[in-house]
Amino acid sequence: MRTISCTINSINLVVLCALNLGCTIYWL
């Protein structure tokens, strides 16, 4: 369960980073 949770958290972090970069580029 911990491994799955860590994997999901990692994926969420990657998605959030991608969205933040996309928003930053969009606003620029």
Provide the domain limits for residue 5.
1-27
Q: What is the pLDDT of residues 1-28, one digit of tens each?
A: 566 666 667 777 788 878 777 767 666 6
Residue linked to tokens 């620029």: 28
Distances (CA, A) of 17 to 1, 2, 9, 11, 27: 24, 22, 12, 10, 15
Number of domains comprising the chain: 1
For residue 28, the model assigns a pLDDT of 61
Dist CA 12 CA 17 (whole Å): 9
For residue 6, the model assigns a pLDDT of 61
For residue 10, the model assigns a pLDDT of 76
